[in-house]
Amino acid sequence: MTQRKAIIIQTILEAAIPLLGYFYWNWDTSFILMFFFLDWLLYLSIVGVKANKRFQYSSDLQEKKQAVQDIISGLLLLIATTTLVYFLLPKLENAFSWKERIWAFLTYKDMGVQQGLILIPLIVLNGVLVYKQQFIAPRLYERLTMKQITLGVKRQGILLLGAAGCFLGFRFFTPYPSEIILFSTIAGTMLYRFFARN
């Protein structure tokens, strides 16, 4: 299988979980956003592991500094985006409670099993497998610079913060169905990942 085909399959599989969540498990916008929050946390963690592997190989202190700066920037952007969504979404939805939605997300049962007990380990397992197959196996840590490994963290964070601000801000002035936020988040994330990986 070529690298391009592997990227296409990986991107489709990543889009499948939130789409299945919406159409099959009756996930709402808050569930999809929580899924992507977990996904982004995993992405930051994997980039940190990649950066560490690159540093073990290169022992370049300048590269280590670059990695720390980019990962901290990505974490701060994640916190900013999460804070924005956390405070604005309840103002746009009637009788909305994050405490209830988070608990519902973790304890939602399908076929008698709580999805949180399955979904979170599946997300982590997917991240670990992708890391091993697409980074360790081809020994990319020998060929990629630290900047190439960590730059996406900052770029993705800026895009997500900007998109969240625009969608939530516009909704204050022009009410529209929350499905627009939901499907835009899925489509935007998948398109970004597809082009970033090529």
What pLDDT is recorded for position 76?
Answer: 94
Question: Which one, of 31, 84, 88, 71, lies nearest residue 156 by Cα?
Answer: 71
> What is the average per-residue pLDDT within 112-117?
67
Q: Are 77 and 154 in contact (CB under 8 A)?
A: yes
pLDDT for 197 equals 64
Distances (CA, A) of 198 to 11, 98, 180, 192: 11, 36, 27, 10
If pLDDT is split at 50, 70 and 90, which confidence band does 149 have?
A: very high
- Main-chain phi, psi angles of 73, to 5 degrees: -60, -45
The model's pLDDT over 22-53, given as tens digits with 9 standing for 90+, comes to: 888 788 888 888 888 888 899 899 999 999 99
110: left (phi over 0), alpha (psi -120 to 50) or beta: beta
DSSP alpha helix (H) spans, 59-114: 61-92, 98-107
pLDDT computed for residue 101 by the predictor: 87
Residue carrying the six token digits 């909704």: 171
Beta carbons within 8 Å of 67's beta carbon, 6+ residues apart: 48, 51, 52, 54, 55, 146, 149, 150
- What is the structure's pLDDT at 108? 78
What confidence tens digit (pLDDT) does each residue in 46-76 have?
Answer: 999 999 999 999 999 999 999 999 999 999 9
Name the residue ranges covered by the structural domains of the chain.
34-178
The pTM of this model reads: 0.83
Is pLDDT above 60 for 198? Answer: no
122 is written with which tokens? 């599946």
